Structure 1
C-alpha cells in the first residue's frame, strides 16, 4: 500500500525525529505533527539550564520555527488527542477536530510516576488533564516532565528556599544540583544505596552520590512515608526520623510511567508501554509507537533521549519500506555539579565472568570505567571523558578484543585498540 499521509502524535524527540527522517529519506506525502506543547522542545534542559533560568524555552526548540514549513510539516500545537481509531486511521482532538492518515505514529511520552504514598499526594494535587503537566502547584508539590512543570518549580527555587527531592535518579540528582547552585537548601531522599548503581556500577554510583554532600546537599537513604500541605509549607515524614521536616517545595522524581491511555482505549496491546515489534509497529499494522510510550516485545522499555531518537528514525524507515540503520549500543548522559557523565552499553558488577577496568583515577575527573566480558568491552561510564565513551561504543559495536591493561593505561590511544593494535 502506498502511504500518502502520516500523522505523528507527540512533539518530543521521538516524534520530531520521525518526521525529520521521513523527509530526509524522500517521503513526499502529507505529514502532520500534533503536540500539546506550544512547539516541540528538548526535555533534558528542563532539569538544568532551563530550570536555572539560563535558557528560555525558544532556545531549546528541537527545530527552528521555519523548519516545519520548509519540510512541509503541518505542525498543530496545543493539540490534545482524546481518541484514536486505528482501523479508520483517525484521531480526535479535544476541540472536536478530527485528523486522518494512512499511518499513525504514537509518540505520547510518559507521565511522572507517583511514589508509594500516592493517595496522600493525589489529595494534595489538582490532577492535570491527560497529556499535560501538573499546573503551577499551590501545595508545594511538583513533578518535572514539561515546561509548565519547570516553570512552576523555577518560581519557588529562590535563594534559601527549602527543597525536598524525592528520588535520587538522574532527574532528582540534576535538580538537586541546579537548586543548590541557586542557593537553595536541598535534602535528597532515596532508599537505594547508592542510587543508579545498575546503570553506572556501584563504585561510580557511590562516588557520584557522594558529590551531593560535597556540594552542600543532604542525602538521606530512606523513604518518605507521608506529605502534608500546611500554611508553613510541605511537612515530610521521612522513615527513621523522629520529627517531620518542613519544606517550601517538594519534587517527586521517582521515575515515569508511559502514556498508553490513548493506545489502550483504542484496543492496542499494552504492557508497561505500547507493545511494538522490531520495526516499531504496534498490534495494529496502521499504528506505530516510538519513544517513552513504546516497549519492544521481550525487551525492557528504554527511557533515554537517544533511544527515542532512534525509535523515530526506525519508524520512518518502516513506513517507507527501507532498511533501518544498524543498531548501536545504548547510550545516555547526565550532568551534575558541572560534571558530564556518559554511559554506553551495559555495566556489570565484577564477578567470575566480568572485569571492572578503571582508566585514570576513579573520583578524579576525567576518568572512565569499563566492563569487560570475555576480553571484550560490553559497557563503559566516563566522567568528563567523552572520547573514551565514543571509543567504547565502537568497541562494543564491532566486538573488538582488548586487554584490560591497555584500557587501564591513560597513555594508550583507544583508537589504536579499535584498529586491533596492541
Structure 2
C-alpha cells in the first residue's frame, strides 16, 4: 500500500517489535523482517532484574509476543543474525556472514550496551552486567543465601537487583558515589524514601566510588574511595548497574547524525531519509536526554511506523516509567528537573505518597511510591497542561480526577 517492498528492523527489543506491530496494524503489507543477534523469541527486559532473578519467570513468561504472532503478522524473525553494516544509499544491510540483503527502509533498534566497571579488575568473571537473558541466568546462579553481593550503582537496575539479592538471602552492599541517587529524576522526598528503604531491609549502603576489584582468597576485594578516603569490602559477586551506552556503531559507520544517541525527528527518522531509529539508541532532536524506559520504547516503535508510512505522528505525552523494589512500586511522569517547586501529597512515613513538580501554575512532573491512582491522574494533568491550585494537590480528600474538570 505504501510502495515499500521490504522493511528491515535491526534489533529485537520492545521498540523493534512495537514498530513491526504498528506497521501491520496500519496496513503495511510488504515484507517485514526483524534481525535479532540473540537466539529465541524477543523478550521483555524489565523482568530480568526482578522476577527472572527471583526465579519466578521463565523465558516463555517474558516473551514480547507468542511464536504464532510472527506467523500471523508475517514478520520474519531472523534469530542469531548479527547485522554488521547498513547501506542506506544502496538500500541494504550487510550480515555477519558477508551476505547483503535489500531493504527499502531500515529501522535501527539496537538498544544499548551496559557500561562496564572502568577500573582494574572490572572484567573479572565474578563481575556481572545485567542486560540480556543470559546475563540474568548467570547472575541468578550466584545469588545464593548467604552470598556476599556488592552492587555498584544505585539507579533503577542496581536498586532492583540489590532488592532481589536481599530477598534471596544474600548479604548485600549497595555502592554509589551519590548520597541520594535519583534526586534529579524523582525529587528529594521520593529519592530519599527509596534510598532509606535499602537500609531498612538490611542492605549496607555505602557512599563511595570503586577504585578497583581484586582477587583475594575466598572471593573478591572491592576497593573504594571518596574524597580522598579509602576502604574495602569483600564480595563473592559484584553486579554493575551504572547505565548503558547507546549502541550507535552501525549508525556512525553509515554517517548518520549521532549525539548522545542517533538523532531522530518526531517520526523517528534519522539524518538519512530511509533510516529510522527507535528505543534506547534514539534521541529526539531538541530533547536533552534519551528516555530509556518501557513506554518510550513502545511509543517510539509506533511513531516510526507512522513516519515510515508518511502519516501524522501522535503526540507521545509526558515520559512515564516505573520501578519495583522491596515490595513497593515507584512511578514517575514528566521531568522533575523542569519543576520550580514541589508539593507533597501524603506522608513519606506512611510508605505511600506522591510528590508533584510545578512550574508556574501547572504540574510538569509527579512521582509516587505505591500511589498508582495519583500517577494515573497526574499523567492526564501534565499532558493537558491543566492549571491547578497547589492546595488541592496537597489535600488528600481532593479527587485528583476532578482537577481535569475544572
* Residue 362 in structure 1 maps to residue 348 in structure 2: yes
Inter-partner Cα distance in structure 1 for 2:263 and 2:338: 30
Other-structure match for 1:86? 88
Q: Identify the residue that residue 345 of structure 1 maps to in structure 2.
A: 334
- Aligned-pair distance for 1:121? 2.0
Counting only pairs closer than 5 Å after superposition, residues 33-182 of structure 1 correspond to structure 2 as: 33-37=34-38, 38-117=40-119, 120-122=121-123, 124=124, 139-182=125-168
- In 2, are the aligned partners of 1:111 and 1:257 still within 8 Å (CA)? yes
What does residue range 314-329 of structure 1 map to in structure 2 within 5 Å? 314-329=303-318
Superimposed CA distance per residue, residues 113-140 of structure 1 (whole angstroms, 9 cap, x where no aligned partner): 13442x5424x3xxxxxxxxxxxxxx21
Give the structure 2 partner of residue 229 of structure 1: 215
Decide whether aligned partners of structure 1 residues 242 and 28 sit closer, same or farther in structure 2, where only a CA change above 3 A counts. closer
Is 2:11 the partner of 1:10? yes
Report the TM-score, using the length of structure 2 for normalisation: 0.95
Q: Which runs of 5+ in 1 are unaligned?
A: 125-138
Deviation at 1:194, TM superposition (A): 0.4
TM (normalized to structure 1)? 0.92
Aligned to 2:20: 19
Verify the 8 A CA contact 1:232 1:246 in the aligned structure 2.
no
SS at match of 2:375: helix
Answer yes or no: is 1:397 the counterpart of 2:386.
Answer: no
In structure 2, how many angstroms separate the alpha carbons of the residues matched to 1:284 and 1:342? 36
| 1:417 and 2:403 matched | yes
Q: 1:296 aligned to 2:284? A: yes
Contact 1:189 1:219 survives alignment (8 Å): yes
- Cα deviation, residue 9, structure 1: 0.5
CA distance in 2, matches of 1:229, 1:90: 47
Q: CA deviation at 1:230?
A: 4.0
Q: Which residue of 2 aligns with 1:305?
A: 294
Between the aligned partners of 2:217 and 2:280, the Cα distance in structure 1 is 37
CA contact (8 A) 1:140 1:229 kept: no
Contact 1:202/1:349 (<8 A) preserved: no
For the structure 1 residues 243 and 365, does the alpha-carbon distance in structure 2 shift closer, same or farther, using more than 3 Å as the test? Answer: closer
The yes-or-no answer on 1:209 pairing with 2:198 is: no
Flag the 1:153–1:397 CA change in 2: closer, same or farther, 3 A: same
Residue 232 (structure 2) aligns with: 244
Q: Using the alignment, how far apart are the partners of 1:19 and 1:286 within structure 2? A: 16
Provide the secondary structure at the position in 1 that maps to 2:297.
helix
Q: Secondary structure at the match of 1:78?
A: coil
1:199 alignment partner, one of 145, 169, 185: 185
The answer to whether the 8 Å contact 1:83/1:93 transfers is yes
Q: Is the 8 A contact 2:180 2:192 kept in 1?
A: yes
Distance in 2 of aligned mates of 1:228 and 1:349: 42
Higher mean displacement: 402-411 or 238-247: 238-247
- Which range is displaced more, 228-237 or 36-45? 228-237
Q: Tell whether the 8 Å contact from 1:222 to 1:238 is kept in structure 2 after alignment.
A: yes
1:149-181 alpha-carbon deviations (Å, 9 max, x no partner): 111110100000000000000000000000000
Distance between the aligned counterparts of 1:104 and 1:169, measured in 2?
Answer: 33
Tell me which of 296, 299, 319 is aligned to 1:330. 319
1:199 match: secondary structure = helix
Q: Secondary structure at the match of 1:91?
A: strand
The 3 A distance-change label for structure 1 pair 199 and 170 is: same
The 1:223–1:22 alpha-carbon spacing in structure 2 relative to 1, beyond 3 Å, is: same
Please list the CA deviations of residues 195-226 of structure 1 after superposition, one character each: whole Å capped at 9, or x if unmatched.
01011101211110000000000010111111
